Amino acid sequence: MEALRFHELGLDNRLLKAVADLGWEKPTLIQEKAIPLGIEGKDLLARARTGSGKTAAYSIPIIQNLLESKMTVSEQAVRVLILVPTKELGHQVQQMVRQLTAYCARDIRVADISGQADISAQRPILMEKPDIVVGTPSRVLIHINQKTLCLRESLQALVIDEADLIFSFGFEDDLKTLLCKLPNIYQSYLMSATFNEDVKALKELVLHNPVTLKLEESQLPDSSQLTQYHIQCEEEDKFLLLYTLLKLSLIRGKTLLFVNDVERSYRLKLFLEQFSIPSCVLNSELPVQSRCHIIGQFNKGFYDYIIASDEQALSDSSVKGKKQAGKKKVGKAEKGQDSEYGVSRGIDFQNVSTVLNFDFPLSVDSYIHRAGRTARANNPGVALTFVAHTELSLLKDVEEALGGGSAEACVLHPYRFRMEEVEGFRYRCRDAMRSVTKQAIKEARLKEIKEELLNSEKLKTYFEDNPRDFNLLRHDRPLHPAIVKPHLKNVPDYLIPSSLRSVANTSLKKKKRKRMQPGPSKAPSKKMRKTRDPLKTFKYAKGKKRTDTKKKAES
């Protein structure tokens, strides 16, 4: 049976124009199933893998129903509440809704209150009564208690996005209190990548006679779209391999480098700085405005490499069925870290060509969500994972979960990299690793946090008046708390293995040639060059000059 097109779903013309602008030719499987049911007003419990288009699957029917209700109801009120587990996801959902309402922005307004702005700063936004409010359960509950947000009379639809993370991020009590302050009748959507115990509990609390969409699809795209490799290597070899892959441009395009904690992310950034490889760090210590700005610029192509630490999501994913465990974990979060943070889940990194797991993920779910950052929509992608000998049991768990437990049906193919060919680079990597000390990492963390706080808070008003300058603000500048040795920047030809010379990047050579060219000053004329260069002006004659020299010697 041929898939439906968007124009066959009975959508408003303004919605169809916005969908066309986004370049979507036809709905994904979850969108094709969920949109008609959502327009009918059914409660939905939908499970679909990361990157399958779940946000649009609930946003499109919600906008369609709002446009229809606006034709009969003139009073402005908050009619849709979208709950998200992280601030980054809240920003992303707001952006998606704004794109879909591009041709009806006057009729439908959306506000994101999930960020870290002061409550008082968000009051004027809510006083305008936007049609759609996006926020975390804790922030929404604060506004309801302060009576800056009232939903009991006007709410038509409730969405809980990434429902399997809501409890594990410590929102169980807030959500239960919040549900008591909502009307008795409203349409509900539960969107999740997995059906765990938390989702089942939410189903009992929120849904009434729901339609369950449990799509029969693999957790990751098939091998024709997503290629998965693993390389067995120890700690020092990880750094050596990463240097070789990036410096010789063996990995090309936008790349996400995943590590397991904040300190590792800065260790990796400072290591790459030694070789003049710029990268951004994305972790829970940075202000939410900076994190969203980094993701936005990465999606626009400003940066090639982001080092992401998904430590919060990893710690929570290890909790299975213990509803309070997530909250306790959040309570014990390291000072300065944002408890409502997650990178491996929810965030839409666009056009990522490669996901590189520098540290092996601590759970199967985390591997799936990391690898799901690439090969989204119809784009191809590669997931490359470094595996130490102590992590082989985790690799086995991932293989079994993805259906490749046997050696014949291996999902993560072994990548046969000849380490002996890059042994010449080892001394450079050791030199760089020695420079990245614990003190240098500590200084780098403090320096970046100070800079990002300055960018996101003190300059906020300036950037509102000068949006172009905000777009040019970069997050991949060198931190340089470690000693940087200039000779490590360039790769000598004799070190490049013969088998890699055809694919190695030659841009450094081109830059070198450009520097040797004369500057803006006027070049000397041919006549001047001849007189100045004695080797070019000297002329040897066999006859006359030779006899003249002999006569002078005799006299």
Q: How far is CA 250 from CA 137, 346, 501, 503, in A?
A: 44, 29, 11, 7
Model confidence at 140: pLDDT above 90: yes
**Structure confidence at residue 317 as a pLDDT band (50, 70, 90):** very low
All domains of the chain, ordered by start, with CATH?
Answer: 6-214 (3.40.50.300), 226-316+333-508 (3.40.50.300)
**Structure confidence at residue 466 as a pLDDT band (50, 70, 90):** low
Q: Which pLDDT value is given to residue 165?
A: 84
Q: Which pLDDT value is given to residue 548?
A: 54
Model confidence at 473: pLDDT above 80: no
pLDDT digits (tens, 9 = 90+) for 504-546: 754 445 444 444 444 455 555 555 555 555 555 555 555 555 5
Instruction: Determine which of 152-161, 397-406, 448-457, 473-482 has the lowest per-residue pLDDT on average.
Output: 473-482
Model confidence at 335: pLDDT above 60: no
- Pairing of β 80-83 and β 132-135: parallel
Distance of CA 531 to the CA centre of its chain: 61
Q: Which pLDDT value is given to residue 320?
A: 37
Model confidence at 487: pLDDT above 60: yes
Q: Which pLDDT value is given to residue 223?
A: 85
Model confidence at 362: pLDDT above 60: yes
Model confidence at 406: pLDDT above 90: no
Q: Which pLDDT value is given to residue 510?
A: 46
pLDDT digits (tens, 9 = 90+) for 26-78: 898 899 999 999 999 999 999 887 778 899 999 999 999 999 999 988 789 99
Who contacts 159 (Cβ-Cβ below 8 Å, separation ≥6)? 58, 62, 80, 81, 82, 83, 188, 189, 191
Instruction: Determine which of 78-82, 117-121, 517-521 has the lowest per-residue pLDDT on average.
Output: 517-521
Q: What percent of the chain has pLDDT over 70?
A: 78
Instruction: Determine which of 109-113, 153-157, 296-300, 517-521 has the lowest per-residue pLDDT on average.
Output: 517-521
DSSP collapsed to 3 states, 249-291: CCCCCCEEEEECCHHHHHHHHHHHHCCCCCCEEECCCCCHHHH
Q: How far apart, in whole angstroms, are the C-alpha atoms of residue 70 and residue 475?
A: 42
**Structure confidence at residue 354 as a pLDDT band (50, 70, 90):** very high
| Residue of 35, 8, 162, 96 lying closest to 296 (CA atoms) | 96
**220 vs 288, which has greater pLDDT?**
220
Mean pLDDT, residues 451-473 taken together: 66
Count of other CB atoms within 10 angstroms of residue 537: 10
Instruction: Determine which of 160-164, 166-170, 402-406, 536-540 has the lowest per-residue pLDDT on average.
Output: 536-540
Q: Which pLDDT value is given to residue 552?
A: 53
Averaged confidence pLDDT in the chain: 82
3-state secondary structure of 110: strand
Q: How far apart, in whole angstroms, are the C-alpha atoms of residue 396 and residue 230?
A: 12
Contact of 173 with 298, CB cutoff 8 Å: no
Model confidence at 284: pLDDT above 70: yes
Q: How far apart, in whole angstroms, are the C-alpha atoms of residue 120 and residue 166?
A: 25
Q: Which pLDDT value is given to residue 291?
A: 82
Q: Which pLDDT value is given to residue 524?
A: 54
